[in-house]
Structure 1
Amino acid sequence: MTVLLTLASYETAARRTDQRRDIDDGLAFPLLGLFGETGSLLSEVKKKQRDPVAYLGYEDTVLEELGDVLWYLAAVTNRAHLTLADLAVNLDRDLECWQSTGDKDLTFTAIEASAQPVASEPSPEFETALLRLSAEVGLLMTDYNAGRLQQNRSALKGRLIAVLRALRTAGHEAGVPLSKAAQSNLEKINDRWPRTRQPPPLFDAGFPATEQLPRRLKIRIEEIEQDGKTAARLTRDGVLIGDPLTDNRAEDDDYRFHDVFHLSYAAHLGWSPTLRRLLKVKRKSDPVTDEVQDGARAVLIEEGIATWIFNHAQRLALFDGIETLDYGLLKSVRRFVSGYEAENCPLWLWEDAILNGYKVFREVRTHRGGTVTIDMDERKIWFDAP
């Protein structure tokens, strides 16, 4: 039996990820987010209009953006000490018939049943509906900025109801009922900020021990001079691992130490085609896995991810002092690995792998070498100075 998603259960999950609430429980921040996400939704429509053939992924993006608008609306509502059900119960009521509170068991499906039918795809009226949504959000922002809502809960509630009603209409014209947008947003929340963090099983767990990445691995990194260039050399128990690496760049940026990132991917994700190649532990007992998951293309993808993130990190002091990564960056990384086993790793685990990898990278960079150890069972990586 299918369990319908209630507004209350969605709101509980959304409230758990309102990370700034402990610092600032005012309405200003989520209102800015609501305004921004509505603008992002309009931007996606503009892109589609500008280049309808070349712009792919439109439907998925609209679904995600509608969910993000709903999340910020839930955040504003919660900080105003209201509930989404308090708003939803009045969506189709006249002002004189308003109810003060909503049913905690009210479902998204129930509030859509009385509205206009859901289109099978974005309709020509979708643009009009979005303009109406942006107008309602604009009125909410204007009244709040003018101080007309802080002491007038009825006016605030009215503005929020109007936004939710416009959002429902926009969703229907886009072919996305609110129930679908809410469910998609919950999946995003659980992917990025789960209640419990349980990493998936290691990808090579069912393979022979000789084809598994070492569950505990200690690598020594040294900086050496080779052919008049500065290079990084990796050894394991005194045995050279791969070839010494230079920055391969006109100006030094210490990318020669980037194997730290592959070690971190292995430690946290259980994934590193590059490290498998270096350690000669490709999964040859399964020809398909050997060719696809451990093959040259997978290695190139991992190297591409490491380079792309590094270019981004250089603009952010190599993520020093940063505790969370931009969602767009993490989503782009997942697109990189689409079709490969690493796409099954949740975004929070990718974030751990990247941030902890850069923490160790900064240490190696400071000390010009050292020892990096990973424990794949514990999903950890750490550094010991030389």
Structure 2
Amino acid sequence: MKFGDYQREALKTDQVPYRSDTDKELTRKVVPLLGLAGEAGELLSEYKKFLRDGEGHKLFGERVEEELGDLLWYIANVASKFDLNLDEIAQKNLEKVRDRWGDLVCSIKNFDENFSNQQSFPRRFEVELRKEVQGGQDKVQPYLNGEKIGDGLTDNYPEDDGYRFHDTFHFAYVAVLGWSPVIRALMKRKRKDDKQYDEVEDGGRATVIDEAIVALVFNYAKGHNFFKETSTVDSQLLKTIKSMTSHLEVKERTTGDWEKAIIAGFSVWRQVVENSGGKMFVDMDNREIRFLSS
């Protein structure tokens, strides 16, 4: 049976049907919501009995099946009361969980594969973040093939929090997502042959968004021990990132891809900070970034 068919059949047994009386509007919606909560409690109660009685709860399987059926009825009824389609809800939910938890495909299309080598990221390269004194300040300077790229960075913060090594995160985005307007500009790989790419995808606004994402995630990570004990990122944070990049080419990457890029970036960043700098290897072919040496 399809969800839509079930939803229509379930509505025939609704004891609080639609009424034109506006005083009944709240009741007809609250009743199935309360029923949903109640049936969830019934399901938990059956599991409680199973934990208590073990194999002595011989009807456990049947009871769970029954409670799940009741939950399904109330879910369908809530959907009907809010003018929603259960088929569409199920489809969108599958799309959401695939986006969040689906496996990253290493062969995903690179955003610059149709451009010349001079306007594309090298698929594998080493980069070094080196501490050095510039203008009387201790800064972190990125080097590519022994040559400086961009400017040296400080933490720009009252205390030492390691943010001066944050280019690591941009390189992680290159490795896993194939995207970083910041690094594309530093490496002088902007796609100038196409005005749309040059102005939109590689332009100033995209660069600011790239930096904003790094700052946003870093601030979150500070409150979570910089992901030392976890390999997951808050779903709402990932949704915010997707919203920020919804007009850019990187919108093709899933929240799961972003999570992998963030976790990989912090894994390398922690080693870079511990060693006060170091070399890292960016591998776009295998969608990974690795710390090499200090």
Which TM-score band (shorter chain)? 0.7 to 0.9
Of 188-197 and 234-243, the range deviating more from structure 2: 188-197
Q: Please, which of 144, 147, 161 is the counterpart of residue 253 of structure 1?
A: 161
Please give the alpha-carbon distance, in whole angstroms, between the structure 1 residues aligned to 2:43 and 2:126: 60
Please give the alpha-carbon distance, in whole angstroms, between the structure 2 residues aligned to 1:196 and 1:342: 14
Write the deviation string for residues 68-123 of structure 1: whole angstroms up to 9, x where unpaired. Answer: xxxxxxxxxxxxxxxxxxxxxxxxxxxxxxxxxxxxxx221321232449x9xxx9
Identity of aligned residues (%): 34
Q: TM-score, normalised by structure 1?
A: 0.66
In structure 2, runs of 5+ residues without a counterpart are 13-17, 51-56
Residue 276 of structure 1 pairs with residue 184 of structure 2? yes
Match of 2:265 in 1: 357
CA contact (8 A) 1:136 1:159 kept: no
Q: TM-score, normalised by structure 2?
A: 0.86
Match of 2:227 in 1: 319
Matched letter for residue 72 of structure 2: L
The alpha-carbon distance between structure 1 residues 243 and 143, as it changes in their structure 2 partners (threshold 3 A), is closer
The alignment yields a C-alpha RMSD, in angstroms, of 2.4
CA contact (8 A) 2:103 2:256 kept: no
Write the deviation string for residues 36-67 of structure 1: whole angstroms up to 9, x where unpaired. Answer: xxxxxxxxxxxxxxxxxxxxxxxxxxxxxxxx
Please give the alpha-carbon distance, in whole angstroms, between the structure 1 residues aligned to 2:36 and 2:289: 49
Residue 137 of structure 1 pairs with residue 37 of structure 2? yes
Residue 262 of structure 1 pairs with residue 167 of structure 2? no
Other structure's SS at 2:282 match? strand
Deviation at 1:204, TM superposition (A): 0.5
| Map 1:166-245 → 2, pairs under 5 A | 166-194=74-102, 197-198=105-106, 200-245=108-153
CA contact (8 A) 1:126 1:174 kept: no
Deviation at 1:372, TM superposition (A): 1.2
The alpha-carbon distance between structure 1 residues 372 and 125, as it changes in their structure 2 partners (threshold 3 A), is farther
The alpha-carbon distance between structure 1 residues 222 and 167, as it changes in their structure 2 partners (threshold 3 A), is same
Please give the alpha-carbon distance, in whole angstroms, between the structure 2 residues aligned to 1:369 and 1:283: 30
Matched letter for residue 112 of structure 1: Q
Match of 1:110 in 2: 5
Q: Please, which of 333, 358, 362 is the counterpart of residue 241 of structure 2?
A: 333
CA contact (8 A) 1:200 1:345 kept: no
Write the deviation string for residues 146-195 of structure 1: whole angstroms up to 9, x where unpaired. Answer: 87754344554443322211110111122222111111111112112226
Deviation at 1:235, TM superposition (A): 1.0
Please give the alpha-carbon distance, in whole angstroms, between the structure 1 residues aligned to 2:80 and 2:139: 58
Other structure's SS at 2:140 match? strand
Please give the alpha-carbon distance, in whole angstroms, between the structure 1 residues aligned to 2:182 and 2:36: 51
Please give the alpha-carbon distance, in whole angstroms, between the structure 2 residues aligned to 1:147 and 1:214: 55
Of 198-207 and 299-308, the range deviating more from structure 2: 198-207
Other structure's SS at 2:281 match? strand
The alpha-carbon distance between structure 1 residues 363 and 108, as it changes in their structure 2 partners (threshold 3 A), is same
The aligned length equals: 277
Runs of 4+ in structure 1 off by over 6 angstroms are none
Other structure's SS at 1:235 match? strand
Write the deviation string for residues 274-328 of structure 1: whole angstroms up to 9, x where unpaired. Answer: 0011011111100011100000000000000000000000111110121222222
Match of 1:7 in 2: none
CA contact (8 A) 1:149 1:156 kept: no
CA contact (8 A) 2:128 2:143 kept: yes
CA contact (8 A) 1:143 1:149 kept: no
Please give the alpha-carbon distance, in whole angstroms, between the structure 2 residues aligned to 1:143 and 1:114: 23
Matched letter for residue 151 of structure 2: D
CA contact (8 A) 1:199 1:345 kept: no
The alpha-carbon distance between structure 1 residues 114 and 141, as it changes in their structure 2 partners (threshold 3 A), is closer
Deviation at 1:135, TM superposition (A): 3.6
Please give the alpha-carbon distance, in whole angstroms, between the structure 1 residues aligned to 2:122 and 2:43: 60
